[in-house]
Amino acid sequence: MSNTRKRIVSGMRPTGPLHLGHYFGVLVNWVKLQEDYDCFFFVADWHALTSEYADSSRIKGFVPGLVVDWVAAGLDESKCVIYQQSAVKEIAELHLLLSMITPLGWLERCPTYKEQKQQLVQKDLNTYGFLGYPVLMSSDILMYRPEAVPVGQDQLPHLELCREIARRFNFITGGDYLPEPKDLLTPDAKLPGLDGRKMSKSYGNSIGLGESMETVAPKVMGMLTDENRKRKSDPGDPEICNLYPYHKLMTDAETCAMIEKGCRDTSWGCVDCKKRLVQSMEAFLTPLHERRAAIENDPERLRAIIESGNAKAREAARETISKVRELLHFDF
């Protein structure tokens, strides 16, 4: 990895197996970024604890599972650093130090804080840790002094807070040691769930990255198409069909053009369309399944990916934390 490349940092919470929505929403972007940037991609296990603290036993199993999903999706440990947040204790120290300079009002005003507290009423989110989530996220980021952070729209308020914290740190310490990271906004998810709503495991409308064709094929055959098209002889509209966005992402352009025309002029029916999507889905998933099988059959390699990533992430973190200690006069 050359040192002249710009650095980026991003993380994901280990809350269960990833699906196609994650792939087309986030991972496809990460896989591209690893070619051009010095990438730090981490499993945000401490973040998972902010909402799962009452039953944290599942997080442990989801950590290696998430890395398997990433490798299956095409992240390559020789091109990026893959690590586990909680393996870098320096992040906890930075979190503590930054918490001292972060005004409460900034956190209380955070829109995601207000929203989630209202929405997740079944969990008691009246905790110090949950309020401080953006400080922890800022520590994840500022630790690596990155040029930018690839995030979805929903994370923009956190990134804005991160910049404000960096600015305040720089003001207090009279310098510019912590650069304000830019956002590399991931375009909104291009792939709806099987029923047209947002793809989510809890809605039961998702296709897991590790799912075999035996379960994927019947899911595809059961998808809703343009509801106004009751018979094949009714003209359809690909723009309001749930299948078509899948074709656009997984089927070649020429076939897509044929599908679009055939749907409108009724020469092409929904059943044919689904069968064709099963084919595309298989072609898309096969390399992911192959990479998954390879890593699952080689637990030593999985362990080595995480351990060597952790070591690299710690090395970079030590450099930052020692400078931060010095700037705050905690370098005894």
Q: Which residues bind ligand TRP (CB under 6 A)?
A: 9-13, 44, 47, 137, 140-141, 149, 151, 155
Nearest to 183 by CA among 202, 155, 144: 155
Nearer to ligand TRP, 23 or 244 (CB): 23
CA angle centred on 121, ends 120 and 125, rounded to 5°: 75
Residue type, 155: Q
Longest distance between any two alpha carbons in the chain, whole Å? 80
Nearer to ligand TRP, 11 or 193 (CB): 11
Nearer to ligand TRP, 135 or 259 (CB): 135
Nearer to ligand TRP, 10 or 280 (CB): 10
CB of 125 to ligand TRP, least distance (A): 14
Nearer to ligand TRP, 22 or 247 (CB): 22
Cβ atoms of residues 127 and 23 within 8 Å = no
- CB-based closest residue to ligand TRP: 11
CB of 133 to ligand TRP, least distance (A): 7
Nearer to ligand TRP, 137 or 288 (CB): 137
CB of 150 to ligand TRP, least distance (A): 7
Nearest to 23 by CA among 288, 306, 292: 288
CB of 45 to ligand TRP, least distance (A): 10
**Residues in Cβ contact with 298 at an 8 Å cutoff, skipping those fewer than 6 apart:** none
CB of 171 to ligand TRP, least distance (A): 23
Report DSSP letters for 114-152, one per residue. Answer: HHHHHH-TTS---SHHHHTHHHHHHHHHHTT--SEEEE-
Output phi, psi for 192, to 5 deg.
Answer: -75, 170
Helices 270-296, 213-221: axis angle to 10 degrees equals 160
CB of 228 to ligand TRP, least distance (A): 36
